[in-house]
Every structure is written in structure tokens, then in C-alpha cells.
Amino acid sequence: MVSRVIPVEPFDLVIFGGTGDLARRKILPGLFRRFRAGQMTPDSRIIGAARAPLDADAYREMIRQGIEEFGGPESKDSESLAAFLDRLDYVSVDATVEEGWPRLAALMRDGVVRAFYFSVAPSLFGPLAEKLHEHAIADVDSRIVVEKPFGRDLESARALNRTLAEYFREEQIYRIDHYLGKETVQNLMAVRFGNLLFEPLWNNHYVDHIQITVAETVGVEGRGGYYDKSGAMRDMVQNHLMQLLCLIAMEPPSRFEAGAVRDEKLKVIRALQPVPVHHIVRGQYDAGDGHPSYREEAGNPRSFTESFIAIRAEIANWRWAGVPFYLRTGKKLKARHSEIAVVFKDLPHTIFEGDHARHRNILSIRLQPNEGIDLTVTIKEPGPGGMRLIDVPLDMTFSEALGQEGQDVPDAYERLIMDVIRGNQTLFMRGDEVEAAWAWTDPLIAGWEARNDVPKLYDPGSTGPDDALMLLHREGRRWREIKA
């Protein structure tokens, strides 16, 4: 089965921070793949905008190298790469000075979608918005895309929302969380809301608990300075893990449409209970096996910042009362592994003699590696010898059935950028959602700061501190394995 690619409207996409790491590694290689797939019309353009005094040719060369390094096998197609690079232009601008802006204004065309990707430090969001307005570069239908982090607490997120609102309507602002652009995350919604089978079981009568794990093997590396002021809670939980939790826990929206979906997500965040101290475990990786410790990497020998966090959260509504949501994320862990697992309750009674094993249905949504969804079901072990039961995973991504094996599924960034051009905000965070998420995390952070909480050390390559295991063990549960 061949997937249908519908070209988007012609656009002028300006990437502020167009020479930066994110632009070279993710945004432009992603756009190149959409170009190759035929989704970008030939009259669409991408304009890099950053401080470096480059001309368009030098910029194209920089991006060619970026795509060759990060763009995957498609980048070997030098003909289409050259055609893509032809769509690129470059303007040298500084968000804080006047120079360059009139040239950018002169480049913008009428009658095409105008989108502006703010791939720069958040402190520049306000000055950029102001410049776009001052020089009449953005029109009433233009879209802006803003990267994380969106604030570092409720107060700063509110200030950022207020600043952007001075120049743009909410319908023009696309706050990106690339987890929402992942194929499997969207498939989760298709599985939940496109089948009769799951929704009747999707509640505290049938679900024992839910686990959300985002495990990384990398440490903070070159980002130590930034990360040390942030930590796992701000860097991962407040945005990515909470977004995943929303999609799992939300009520069925009336339509798959931005307003309806985001209203339901907001209700989940607002229903999250405050978390008691003993339901939070913070960790920090130690040195080991030739690896430096977090403190060494962050360059802060007295750092109390967490590189790991596990939280037992609860949602106070009729659907989820009493169902724990265990969230955990950390760096320098055993494997790179992200998964949401919906663990269903035990059977009320077993009819099979001699079967003492605990058979549970588990719906597992894997984000990385090997994106996919499977459902653990219990069946009879094939062959003679009586009724022996085994648990097997039922692959629900059906890549073979759909003939998609090896097919190029758009990655999160490319899909989301195309949604910006299409004007579809469903997979982006609304301002009130981001503020509500900070309103839940702020008191937890304030609590451990007031207690001078020292994170528990854990070995690099482990599953995090032992206390995180205890969070589940003391309730008779266990974490799912972190495996590559």
C-alpha cells in the first residue's frame, strides 16, 4: 500500500537560528525529506536567518553538510538535494539590532503561507516577535513556531505567553513538543478512539496502573550549563511526559480537531493531584565505568539538580481515581527506551487448573527504539500436553500488513512543520495547557528546593536509584524493563 502525500500550500518558512544545532540536525533534514516526498510545492522557500554574516551560497553549503550528516540515506540522492538547496535563502539578522530586517521584509512574498520558526534561545522570542511586527514581516495569518523550553516556571511561561500575545493571536502560535509528532503517539489516539475494543476498558475498573518511561543513555554532555538550571523535571516531565500522560488519560474529544483535543488535555492536567514527597524520587548519575559523574559534566561540584526523576501521579476524576500513573525519565540509564505501558488488572478468577502465573494484558506503546504498539495477550501454548498458557505480544502496528516495512515514515519534526503550514494546531500545545503544566510542577520543585533535597546517586548504565524501584515494589508492582 503506497501512502498518499498531499502537497501543502506554497510557503515562505523563515528559520530564525537557521545555523544552529537544531536547524542543521533536525529541521532542515526533515524539510528535505518532505521535499523528496513531494509535499513541498516547487515554489515554496526556506529562508535561514541567524547572526552569522553568510551569503546564501555559504548557507546552502552549511545545510548540505548538515543533511549529508543527519539526513539518512535519502541525502545520497545528490540531484534532489541540489534541487532542495535551490529553495534555500539566507538573511543575516540579529533579534536585538535593526540591521538585516528590511532585507528580510523585502524577501517575503504575498499570497503564500508565511511561517517563522523561532529556533533560538527563549529570551529572543519577544525581540523576534517585536521585529516581525515592526517591519510588517508577519501578516495576520502568519504562524510562529516556538521551541522548548517554554518558560522555567508558571510566572515566566505566563510572561512569555503575554509577550507573544502582544503580536500574535493564539491561533498563530505553534508551541512545539516533538513527542506529539511521533507516529506511534498519533497511532495511540487512532487505537484508542478508532476501535470499540479499548475505550470500555480504559478506566479504573480495568486498568491497574500506567507507566511512562523516557530513558536516555546519554548524559548532559555539552548542555551541562543549561541543564543544571533545569533538571529532568523541567526538561522532560513538564512537557514531554505530561503530554503523553494527557493523550493516555484524556476523555474522547468530540472531534479530532485542535480546540476539542486541547480542551480535553487541559482537563487532565487540571485534574492532576498534588504529589506527596514520598511519591517523588530524584536521582543524579554518579561516576562509574570510566564515565564522569553528573557533577563533573555539569561543571558544578555542589549541584543538587536531578538527572533522573520518578513520580507517582494521580488523576482525580471518575475515570482514573485510584489508578497510579508512574512517570520516570533519566539520563545515563541502561538503554535508550521510551514507552507507555497500560497495565490491565488481574483476571478475577482463573479456570485453568495448575496455572499459577499472573497473566495480564499490557498495551505497550513504544516511542523508541522500534516505534510500535503491541498488546500482550494470553493464549494456549501450541502443541499437545494440556492447557499451558503463555503471554505473547500482538503487534498492533501491522507494518507488514500495511506494506510499510522500511517505508519512509515522516519523523516528528517534519510532520509537525507540515502541520504548521497546513494551519493544524492539534498536535501543538496551547498557552493555557503549558501554564497548567507549570502550575502542577512548580509546587513539587519548590518543595524539594525548600527541603534542600539531595538527589540519590545512581550508577551510569543502571535503571536509576533503588528508591525508584521501591516506589512500585511497596505497592506490589514493578517497573517494566528498560531495554534497547
- Residue from 21, 86, 346, 475 touching ligand NAD (CB under 6 A): that is 21
- Residue from 58, 82, 121, 390 touching ligand NAD (CB under 6 A): that is 121
CB atoms within 10 A of CB 86: 11
* 142 near ligand NAD, judged by CB under 6 A: no
Active site residue 240: yes
Q: How far is the CB of 159 from ligand NAD (least distance, A)?
A: 16
Residue among 240, 291, 337, 473 flagged as catalytic: 240
* 51 near ligand NAD, judged by CB under 6 A: yes
Q: How far is the CB of 223 from ligand NAD (least distance, A)?
A: 8
* 40 near ligand NAD, judged by CB under 6 A: no
Q: Are 210 and 325 in contact (CB under 8 A)?
A: yes
Q: Are 332 and 217 in contact (CB under 8 A)?
A: yes
Could you tell me where the DSSP H helices lie in 250-401? 258-271, 294-298
What kind and span of H or E run contains 363? strand 362-368
* 120 near ligand NAD, judged by CB under 6 A: yes
* 52 near ligand NAD, judged by CB under 6 A: yes
- Residue from 13, 14, 17, 415 touching ligand NAD (CB under 6 A): that is 17
CB atoms within 10 A of CB 484: 11
Q: How far is the CB of 96 from ligand NAD (least distance, A)?
A: 5
Residues 178-197: x where in contact with ligand NAD by CB under 6 A, - otherwise, as a string: --------------------
Q: How far is the CB of 413 from ligand NAD (least distance, A)?
A: 10
Q: Are 47 and 81 in contact (CB under 8 A)?
A: no
Please tell me whether residue 110 adopts helix, strand or coil conformation: coil
Which three cell numbers mark 200? 470500555
Amino acid at 35: F
| Chain Cα centroid distance, residue 290 | 31
Tell which positions 260-279 bind ligand NAD, by CB under 6 A: none
* 30 near ligand NAD, judged by CB under 6 A: no
Q: Which stretch binds ligand NAD (CB under 6 A): 87-95, 194-202, 320-328, 462-470?
A: 87-95
Pairing relationship of beta strands 88-92 and 207-215 according to DSSP bridges: unpaired
- Residue from 8, 11, 12, 20 touching ligand NAD (CB under 6 A): that is 20
Q: How far is the CB of 270 from ligand NAD (least distance, A)?
A: 26
Amino acid at 129: A
Cα separation, 134 vs 480, whole angstroms: 53
Please tell me whether residue 248 adopts helix, strand or coil conformation: helix
Q: For residue 41, give the DSSP letter.
A: -
Question: Which residues would be at the binding site for ligand NAD (CB under 6 A)?
Answer: 16-23, 50-52, 93-96, 119-122, 124, 147-149
Q: Which residues are catalytic?
A: 240
